[in-house]
Structure 1
Amino acid sequence: MLQESLFGRGQADRSINVEANLLSERIELRRAIALRSARWLLLLAVVIGSSSVVVPSILESRAEVATEIRKSRANVAILEKQVESIEKQSEVTTPMLAGHEMQERMSSQSELVLGNLLLVLNSVPKSMAVSSLRGELVGGQLAMTLRGDCESYASLRDFVAAASHGPSVKTAVLSSTRSSALLGDNGLAFDFLKKVQVAR
């Protein structure tokens, strides 16, 4: 019994202390869990509170952006229709403009050719006879060759001086001369060459 009282009571006290320690540890653990839970709940409340402020403004901005996108798409569709209309008009008018430009260019080139031919013919003096006038249009250049006879070298010189003028003249030369008694004792037969740039 003595042992029991010595050992049994001490064991009972110890057991109470262990249980008290375990209980206090458990209470501390519950407080720590409660504190941690309170922090998480506070953080969650802050997040929910801030999201209740931010989310409506984001949704409003999203709605505004969606409206702007719809307006932009409508404007793009209108512009695409305008571009398509302009392209169709361009397809119709481009050949007409090209034809008109070609007609104007051909008209001015024809005037240049005829003007130079007439200038050469009008430069022929009375003391000269023309046997042939030939014109060739090659590579945008008119080459005129006048073959004839004249009474003297002076009348030939006057003809060359008068016939060499005109717009876009590249060269105007006597390509050959030889004696000819067709129009007189001092007469000459000649070939006159004139080149004019008609097209560029």
Structure 2
Amino acid sequence: MSFSAPVLILYGSTYGHTENYARWLQEKLANAGFAHTTTLAISDVDEDALTDASIVVVGTSDYGGFLNGASTLRKFLPQLENKKLFFFTVSFNGLVGSTREKLDEKVVKSFTPALVATAPTFHLRGGLDHTRLSTTHKTVLQGVRVALSTKLKKNLGNQQMLESFSQGKADYSDPESLNPLVQTIVEAQDASAS
């Protein structure tokens, strides 16, 4: 099956994990039959790119509850209102260390309830390379390390975060975790073609 609807994949990435997911998604959508897909950093988006797209997928990295690129993309809310929208976030823990409700709430808070109301949202895992972190992120993560060390009941995400400090890095990125998003986009396109 082939789809003619142009897809724009936007990403806000700090250390590259979200950008990797955006590129993997572009490849997966091409393999699923989408003939026209473009991947673009949110910082480079303009009205023309949004006008040309029928489907917009927004991927943002989550650092301490702030979604990378959200403030830039909010400037284009009028252009996004009539698009088929899909969101994905990338964080160290994803759904391993948080609930869907909490992660969805960050997307709603960042992109307005009206815009997100009918847009499917997915939450993926990324990684940490402590040698590449900015001074600010290192400082914040030291506070996280102390808090997690004293926590009596640690979930898997907490344990893996603590392990990342001793190992220097950890990466839980998985291109296969994009499959449900790809399937949702294909199903939405099938439904609109009928």
Q: Which TM class, normalised by the smaller chain length?
A: under 0.3
Q: Which has the larger radius of gyration?
A: 1
Structure 2-normalised TM-score? 0.26
Q: Which has the higher helix share?
A: 1
Structure 1-normalised TM-score? 0.25
Of structures 1 and 2, the one with the larger relative CO (CA 8 A, separation 6+) is: 2
